[in-house]
Amino acid sequence: MNLCGRLLCVLSFVSVCTILYFGILEEESFHLDTDCGKRPDRGVPGFPRAKRFLGRPVKLGAWPWVVSLQYRSSHSSPFVQRCAGAVIYKDWILTTATCFYQPAFRNLSDWRIKTGTEDLNNDGSHTQTASIEAIILHRDYQPKSKYQDIALVKLATPLEFNDYVDRICIPDKMIVEEFKYGECYIAGYDGPMGYNPGLLKESHVTLFPSNQCNMMTWRKFTVAANMFCAGGRHGYRDGCETNIGGPISCFVPATKRYYVKGIRIVANKCGVPRRPNIYLQVSKHFHWIARKIDNYEKGP
């Protein structure tokens, strides 16, 4: 190969590396933003634990990214919680595809989100609601197996971030590989399907090994590689059906931030021993989230 040919090869190699480098930077900027996952300590120490979903009520703003996804069956019906979700940007909510998969739940005007409250039945000065502009489901979602059970909700109007409403960090594989998670918590609005859930509650949860969770006496081999189980060792500390899509928030001591380690995709009943909630591993969908939001923002 002559000198010109070699030079051309070198220049081509440099160009490709430059494109890849800036492409990585663009995707990593989604990860490197640290203005997220800040949780003020507004718990209620010493409150007696309840033997059902979550545990103890918490004060306003304790988990500022937790939202109630509310649905009404008709225009004359009240909004009640059907699912839960987590704020990841001012106008984006992370939740599950299960919430919207059935055609009956595709009408955007029948949905809204509510956040910034400690009691869904009593709105305060910090309560915020927003209608939904768009719903993005993972195209490979499978209702039976819960494979790729993830969705993004685009809000019609952005939320106002403050001490009571804020966003949680999204982990990518770098976070999982470089840092270790500390304690993990679930939080949401407690209550059975068909009723306004009411109070915001929280509980510390245990993450169970996949081989344990897939035992025949537990979840019977239904926990795939991109899922995990969490709850209380004797039941109780988990979510009910109306809390599908809710986040499990894990603290990373190295960054001093909370990350949404998973979103709840299976919650067949509340607090059944050896039947912990199943969560989708969010870090494995980091690039899907980034790509879908970027494509939507750019428009057609």
List pLDDT tens digits, range 147-182.
999 999 999 999 999 999 999 999 987 766 667 888
* Mean pLDDT in residue range 287-294: 96
Alpha-carbon span 161 to 223, nearest angstrom = 35
Q: Which residues contact 280 (CB under 8 A, 6 or more apart)?
A: 96, 146, 148, 149, 150, 226, 227, 262, 263, 265
Domains of the chain: 36-300 (2.40.10.10)
Question: Pairing between strand 128-137 and 200-208?
Answer: unpaired
Split at pLDDT 50, 70, 90, the class of 18 is very low
Please state, rounded to an integer, the average pLDDT across all residues of the chain: 81
Question: Is residue 201 classed exposed, middle or buried when 0-12, 13-18 and 19+ CB atoms within 10 A define those classes?
Answer: buried
Question: Is residue 104 classed exposed, middle or buried when 0-12, 13-18 and 19+ CB atoms within 10 A define those classes?
Answer: exposed
Alpha-carbon span 167 to 139, nearest angstrom = 25
**Greater confidence, 14 or 262?**
262
The residue to which tokens 């599908």 are assigned: 244
Alpha-carbon span 282 to 127, nearest angstrom = 27
Residue 202 has pLDDT above 70, yes or no: yes
Nearest alpha-carbon partner for 36 in 67, 5, 64, 57: 64
Q: Is 254 left (phi over 0), alpha (psi -120 to 50) or beta?
A: alpha
List pLDDT tens digits, range 54-96.
578 888 899 999 999 999 988 889 999 999 999 999 999 999 9
Alpha-carbon span 57 to 48, nearest angstrom = 9
Q: Which residues contact 127 (CB under 8 A, 6 or more apart)?
A: 114, 115, 116, 117
pTM of this prediction?
0.83
Q: Which phi and psi (to 5°) does residue 140 adopt?
A: -100, 10
Alpha-carbon span 135 to 112, nearest angstrom = 12
pLDDT at 41: 63
Residue 112 has pLDDT above 80, yes or no: yes
Residue 12 has pLDDT above 80, yes or no: no
List pLDDT tens digits, range 222-249.
888 889 988 877 656 777 777 899 999 9
Give the start-end residues of each E strand in the chain: 56-57, 66-71, 80-89, 92-95, 111-115, 128-137, 151-155, 184-189, 200-208, 227-231, 247-252, 257-266, 277-281
pLDDT at 180: 83
pLDDT at 173: 74
pLDDT at 30: 46
pLDDT at 214: 83
* Dihedral sign for Cα atoms in the order 26, 137, 168, 112: positive
Secondary structure in 3-state letters for 102-137: CHHHCCHHHEEEEECCCECCCCCCCCEEEEEEEEEE
Alpha-carbon span 295 to 267, nearest angstrom = 31
